[in-house]
A and B are shown apart, each in its own frame.
Chain A
Amino acid sequence: MSVVTNTTTIGAIEAPSRRNTELAMLAFAVVIPVFAYLNVGLAVNDEVPSGMIGYGLGIGLLAGIGHLVVRKFAPYADPLLLPLATLLNGLGLVLIWRLDQSPRLIDRANRIFGSFTPDAPKQLLYSAIGIALFVAVLLLLKDHRILQRYTYISMAVALVLLILPVFFPAVNGAKIWVSIGPFNVQPGEFAKIIIAIFFSGYLMVKRDALALASRRVMGLYLPRGRDLGPILAVWAMSILILVFETDLGTSLLFFGLFVIMLYVATERTSWIVFGLVMSAAGAVGVATFEPHVQQRVEFWLNPFAESTWEQSDQIGQALMSFGAGGTLGTGLGQGNSDLIGFAANSDFILSTVGEEFGLAGMMAFLLIYGLIVERGVRTALAARDPFGKLLAIGLSGAFAIQVFVVAGGVMGLIPLTGMTMPFVAAGGSSVIANWALIGILIRISDTARRPAPAPAPSPDAEMTQVVRP
């Protein structure tokens, strides 16, 4: 094969589609969780789990559908995103199923609620819905730039989603749930995608105004109010609502999203400074009047203090879980991460990873997340339109911050804020929303890597090259 060095950014040469690479990796992403499933069965019950074939087929089927849809409708998409998400989702299912086998958690549920319902089947259903949404995104969204049209509708939808939980009772101290019949939805997870769409659409239009038409105040370039106003208002409202709902993690996420997108859109470093100053002011401000926040900080600083232990031993238990895992882990099904109690399979699922997969497994997990973010940022770099760039960096930035906030909280690096580990933690909204997020990223990457149509031959080409005397 003759190697053609492609030096232009936009070339007529067809880029390799990498669909077969994706398929091969997808096979891995299905086989690994199936073996993990077998491992749990053998460790916990000493037998090959009866649901093994069903589980393998289920995951394989879902991954296969995802792959076929990508092959057909987004042939140039990034080949890594789908396998990575599938691997995380599959391992997440195994971890949740493993915690479902915990006699300690079953005992606890029976004592407190009078009955125990396993979470793994629900999670499998949610995963299926998530992949269905992923497929729907790829089928319906032929070009991500369509989303641009819905800039202001997105704003309205995001605000509604954020306000909704106020009308529903708090669950475990946070008003982040909407309960409709048997279904509990966490609208914040969806709001993060929708608000990224709004920011992208708005910033794409206003970026020049924000970057250039500014006044210099105390060394900083401040934009005009009419440019910044709407976006600042939306952002402030989301933060206020979230503080009101004591959903700290999501407010942090939105804040980071806002700063990142503003910085990318305006290319002005002063926005970072501006953002950091505002976040510091905000954090101090919120911490002074919000006992919930003070408590979280206190728990973070002294996880083993007697006073902390009386109120919540979660952080301490999580830390000891990581310690118990050590370098190689106890092996699936053989740890005691369920000592953490009720949040073991949701907010704290990473503790089970830490204890049963050990340091080696934790690094692998974190690198998988890192790779997803990396592929997202790469998509942003490759995208040819500013809207696509902004949306891709917004979504992958949000994903990165979410991973950092949850993992950092569970590992005691930062105060715990209570969000879910994307794809792995039990919880429908999270899985479904993140599959949609991956769907959008795949769509953007497909557009970005799609070979540009060959330039139409110009009838004037000959003429312009002739210099006439």
Chain B
Amino acid sequence: MNKPLRRIAIFCGLLVLALLVRTNWLQYIEADELNTHEKNRRVLIERYAKERGNIVVDGKPITGSAKTKDTDFKYKRTYLDGPMWAPVTGYASQAFGATQIESIEDGILTGNDDQLFFDRTMAMFTGDEEKGGNVVTTLNGAAQKAAFEGLGKKKGAVAAIEPGTGKILALASTPSYDPSTFAGNSLDSDTPAWEKLKDDPDKPLLNRALRETYPPGSTFKVLTAAAALEHGVVDDIDAKTESPLPWIMPGTTTPLENEGNIPCKNATLREALRVSCNTVFGKLGFNVGKENMLETAKKFGFNEEQFVPVRANASIFPEELNDSQTALSSIGQFDTRTTPLQMAMVVSAIANDGKLMKPYMIDQLEAPNLDVIKKTEPEEMGQPVSQEHAQMLQEMMETVVNEGTGTNAKIPDVTVGGKTGTAQHGENNSKNPYAWFISYAKGENGSPVAVAVVVEDSDAVRDDISGGGLAAPIAKDVMKAVIDSKK
């Protein structure tokens, strides 16, 4: 009976071998895939196992960590001024995941990033409690406060950039939410808070400054003016343009209307921007042509997602247009859509003498011992307009603030340039328009701040809505906060 016995021995050997091969497969080859599996709770456990690093503004943390009694999660995220900072921080919730900086820099914040390997090893030897690293933002607390309080109960968003570097100074969105309310995983308090936010028709979880695209309305005329100058359609901003009134849009019998009875016939570019002539800019856009308009828009960053490093939606300048649509798109109507961040980029490029800096909001990443791991260096994105043309645009925008529609943004002893916008939307423009204001402040050492404000307030009486009335005061407060903080 020994021959079959030997064969059975081989068979048993094969069984064990199969198990050995399988365990190697699972624990060596597939281990990484399993460890990062979306259903793997260890990822979350690990995220909250240590005191999470902080997100820092003006040298002070705007987040914190609290010890919990949970069996899985030792620490819970807390937020200071949660609603004000939510568009910057995002949230880190034990039950509902993480977004924005909390998610993008999770490795640094949890301390598990490979860049922190050395610190972890040191902590192991010194016996210090392991802790996450910090994320230092570029934001300006005073500007953020001004933006958030300026928006108040209204729906809207503010994006402010330092033109010379691309540093994001303020990023506000209202209505907002407090990430603290659902940072834990309690079924009694966190889940209802989350459900309520998720189902809120006002979409408080939406980051309007980065993820919502609005029709830019008249603020887009600045870009049309830039395109006209860049492509040689207009040389002198104080020369009369050939702008008939009424102007029938090409290929149609429809006249393009102006808001009210304003002096637009053959107005100069400066004058047309000052009073915001639809006819002049509509015709100008048509004359520049859709290809050239698109080219300039793209140079300013349109039609492309921006990563700051949080993703911002792509703003749209349509690629397929007929002549009348080109005209409408050039005054910020039709299918032109933009994020507040994009309009802030447009102004910042103009304020920075034509040079567009890549916007960013993470200044540096720090190890738990505050060693700098990585510093973001300002990066040039391009030169959408020449220096000469940029200065012409500045002049015109300053006229708008000094004696045009944007007088509400005037700041004593500071040069301010801006442009208002009142964007129609909805079918037949039936909905209450969005109020826009884009502007920059300028001092002796260049411009410290460029800002874009949008207010979508459907509660206001329609006639009261105008960029100059609703949005300009907010922009002014933000600019003033930045200037004051530099003093």
Question: Which residue in B19, B30, B37, B71 is a CB contact (below 8 Å) of A104?
Answer: B71
- In this assembly, does A64 line the interface, its C-beta being within 8 Å of a C-beta of chain B? no
Nearest residue, chain A, Cβ from B33 = A323
The answer on a CB contact under 8 Å between B15 and A354 is no
Cα distance, A420 to B434, chains bound together (Å): 68
User: What string of 1s and 0s marks CB contacts (under 8 Å) between A210-228 and chain B?
Assistant: 0000000000000000000
| A residues 395-435 touching B (CB-CB < 8 Å) | 396-397, 400-401, 403-404, 407-408, 411-413
The answer on a CB contact under 8 Å between A377 and B19 is no
Question: Which residue in B9, B18, B37, B45 is a CB contact (below 8 Å) of A377?
Answer: B9
The answer on a CB contact under 8 Å between A401 and B31 is no
- In this assembly, does B26 line the interface, its C-beta being within 8 Å of a C-beta of chain A? yes
Cα distance, A320 to B38, chains bound together (Å): 11
Chain B residues whose C-beta falls within 8 Å of the C-beta of A47 in the assembled complex: none
- In this assembly, does A188 line the interface, its C-beta being within 8 Å of a C-beta of chain B? no
The answer on a CB contact under 8 Å between A366 and B12 is no
Cα distance, A369 to B15, chains bound together (Å): 11
The answer on a CB contact under 8 Å between A413 and B8 is no
The answer on a CB contact under 8 Å between A397 and B12 is yes
The answer on a CB contact under 8 Å between B18 and A413 is yes
Question: Which residue in A359, A381, A389 is a CB contact (below 8 Å) of B23?
Answer: A359
Question: Which residue in B8, B18, B24 is a CB contact (below 8 Å) of A404?
Answer: B18
Cα distance, A107 to B27, chains bound together (Å): 29
Q: A267-B4, A336-B45, A389-B1 are in contact. Are A359 and B27 (CB under 8 A)?
A: yes
User: What string of 1s and 0s marks CB contacts (under 8 Å) between B136-179 and chain A?
Assistant: 00000000000000000000000000000000000000000000
Chain B residues whose C-beta falls within 8 Å of the C-beta of A260 in the assembled complex: 8, 11
User: What string of 1s and 0s marks CB contacts (under 8 Å) between B1-39 and chain A?
Assistant: 111111111011101101110111011101111110101
The answer on a CB contact under 8 Å between A373 and B19 is no
Cα distance, A100 to B6, chains bound together (Å): 42
- In this assembly, does B431 line the interface, its C-beta being within 8 Å of a C-beta of chain A? no
Q: What's the nearest-Cβ distance from chain B to residue A455, in Å?
A: 23
Nearest residue, chain A, Cβ from B15 = A404
Chain B residues whose C-beta falls within 8 Å of the C-beta of A320 in the assembled complex: 34-35, 37, 39-40, 42
Nearest residue, chain B, Cβ from A371 = B16
User: What string of 1s and 0s marks CB contacts (under 8 Å) between A108-135 and chain B?
Assistant: 0000000000000000000000000000
The answer on a CB contact under 8 Å between B1 and A370 is no
The answer on a CB contact under 8 Å between A377 and B5 is yes
Chain B residues whose C-beta falls within 8 Å of the C-beta of A62 in the assembled complex: none
The answer on a CB contact under 8 Å between A367 and B16 is yes
Cα distance, A316 to B38, chains bound together (Å): 11
- In this assembly, does A202 line the interface, its C-beta being within 8 Å of a C-beta of chain B? no
Q: A267-B4, A380-B5, A404-B18 are in contact. Are A354 and B23 (CB under 8 A)?
A: yes
Q: What's the nearest-Cβ distance from chain B to residue A263, in Å?
A: 5
Q: A336-B42, A389-B5 are in contact. Are A411 and B16 (CB under 8 A)?
A: no
- In this assembly, does B374 line the interface, its C-beta being within 8 Å of a C-beta of chain A? no
The answer on a CB contact under 8 Å between B26 and A327 is no
Cα distance, A386 to B23, chains bound together (Å): 37
Cα distance, A324 to B31, chains bound together (Å): 7
The answer on a CB contact under 8 Å between B26 and A322 is yes
The answer on a CB contact under 8 Å between B26 and A324 is no
- In this assembly, does B371 line the interface, its C-beta being within 8 Å of a C-beta of chain A? no
Q: What's the nearest-Cβ distance from chain B to residue A183, in Å?
A: 31
The answer on a CB contact under 8 Å between B39 and A397 is no
Chain B residues whose C-beta falls within 8 Å of the C-beta of A363 in the assembled complex: 20, 23-24
Q: What's the nearest-Cβ distance from chain B to residue A201, in Å?
A: 15
Chain A residues whose C-beta falls within 8 Å of the C-beta of B4 in the assembled complex: 263-264, 267
- In this assembly, does A325 line the interface, its C-beta being within 8 Å of a C-beta of chain B? yes
Nearest residue, chain A, Cβ from B26 = A322
The answer on a CB contact under 8 Å between A400 and B12 is yes
Chain B residues whose C-beta falls within 8 Å of the C-beta of A354 in the assembled complex: 23, 26-27
Place the interface of chain B in its size category.
35 or more
User: How many residues belonging to A are interface residues under a CB distance threshold of 8 Å?
Assistant: 51
Chain A residues whose C-beta falls within 8 Å of the C-beta of B202 in the assembled complex: none
- In this assembly, does A319 line the interface, its C-beta being within 8 Å of a C-beta of chain B? yes
Cα distance, A336 to B4, chains bound together (Å): 44
Chain B residues whose C-beta falls within 8 Å of the C-beta of A366 in the assembled complex: 16, 19-20, 23
Cα distance, A205 to B4, chains bound together (Å): 18
Chain A residues whose C-beta falls within 8 Å of the C-beta of B198 in the assembled complex: none
Cα distance, A411 to B21, chains bound together (Å): 11
- In this assembly, does A309 line the interface, its C-beta being within 8 Å of a C-beta of chain B? yes
Question: Which residue in B15, B35, B39 is a CB contact (below 8 Å) of A401?
Answer: B15
Chain A residues whose C-beta falls within 8 Å of the C-beta of B3 in the assembled complex: 267
Q: A366-B23, A413-B22 are in contact. Are A393 and B31 (CB under 8 A)?
A: no
Chain A residues whose C-beta falls within 8 Å of the C-beta of B71 in the assembled complex: 103-104, 107
- In this assembly, does B72 line the interface, its C-beta being within 8 Å of a C-beta of chain A? yes
Cα distance, A316 to B4, chains bound together (Å): 38
Nearest residue, chain B, Cβ from A366 = B19
Cα distance, A400 to B71, chains bound together (Å): 38
The answer on a CB contact under 8 Å between B34 and A319 is yes
- In this assembly, does A242 line the interface, its C-beta being within 8 Å of a C-beta of chain B? no
Cα distance, A370 to B14, chains bound together (Å): 10
- In this assembly, does A358 line the interface, its C-beta being within 8 Å of a C-beta of chain B? yes
Cα distance, A319 to B1, chains bound together (Å): 41
Q: A336-B42, A366-B20, A413-B22 are in contact. Are A327 and B8 (CB under 8 A)?
A: no
Nearest residue, chain B, Cβ from A360 = B27
- In this assembly, does A196 line the interface, its C-beta being within 8 Å of a C-beta of chain B? no
The answer on a CB contact under 8 Å between B26 and A323 is yes
Chain B residues whose C-beta falls within 8 Å of the C-beta of A104 in the assembled complex: 71-72
- In this assembly, does B375 line the interface, its C-beta being within 8 Å of a C-beta of chain A? no
Cα distance, A397 to B14, chains bound together (Å): 12
Nearest residue, chain A, Cβ from B6 = A381
The answer on a CB contact under 8 Å between A323 and B23 is no
Q: What's the nearest-Cβ distance from chain A to residue B485, in Å?
A: 46
The answer on a CB contact under 8 Å between B34 and A324 is yes
Q: What's the nearest-Cβ distance from chain A to residue B98, in Å?
A: 20
Q: What's the nearest-Cβ distance from chain A to residue B50, in Å?
A: 14
Cα distance, A404 to B18, chains bound together (Å): 9
Chain B residues whose C-beta falls within 8 Å of the C-beta of A373 in the assembled complex: 12, 16
- In this assembly, does B462 line the interface, its C-beta being within 8 Å of a C-beta of chain A? no
Nearest residue, chain A, Cβ from B40 = A320
Cα distance, A336 to B48, chains bound together (Å): 14
The answer on a CB contact under 8 Å between B12 and A377 is yes
Cα distance, A330 to B91, chains bound together (Å): 29
Q: What's the nearest-Cβ distance from chain A to residue B13, in Å?
A: 7
Q: What's the nearest-Cβ distance from chain B to residue A293, in Å?
A: 21
- In this assembly, does B67 line the interface, its C-beta being within 8 Å of a C-beta of chain A? no
Which one of B1, B22, B39, B40 has the greatest number of beta carbons of chain A within 10 Å?
A: B1
The answer on a CB contact under 8 Å between B16 and A370 is yes
Chain B residues whose C-beta falls within 8 Å of the C-beta of A319 in the assembled complex: 26, 30, 34
Q: What's the nearest-Cβ distance from chain A to residue B9, in Å?
A: 4
Q: A316-B39, A323-B30 are in contact. Are A264 and B23 (CB under 8 A)?
A: no
Chain A residues whose C-beta falls within 8 Å of the C-beta of B311 in the assembled complex: none
Q: A103-B71, A320-B35, A327-B27 are in contact. Are A397 and B8 (CB under 8 A)?
A: yes
- By Cβ-Cβ distance, the 9 closest A-B pairs, closest first, are A323-B34, A359-B27, A370-B16, A404-B15, A400-B12, A103-B71, A322-B26, A377-B9, A362-B23
Q: List 15 A-B contacts (CB under 8 A).
A: A319-B34, A320-B40, A323-B33, A326-B27, A327-B27, A354-B27, A359-B27, A359-B28, A374-B13, A381-B9, A389-B1, A397-B12, A403-B19, A404-B19, A407-B19
Known: A260-B11, A354-B27, A359-B28. 19 other contacts (CB 8 A): A107-B71, A267-B3, A322-B27, A323-B31, A323-B32, A323-B34, A324-B31, A324-B35, A326-B28, A326-B31, A359-B27, A362-B23, A366-B16, A369-B16, A377-B12, A389-B5, A408-B19, A408-B22, A412-B22
Give the B-binding residues of A (Cβ under 8 A): 103-104, 107, 260, 263-265, 267, 304, 309, 313, 316, 319-320, 322-327, 336, 339, 354, 358-359, 362-363, 366-367, 369-370, 373-374, 377, 380-381, 386, 389-390, 393, 396-397, 400-401, 403-404, 407-408, 411-413
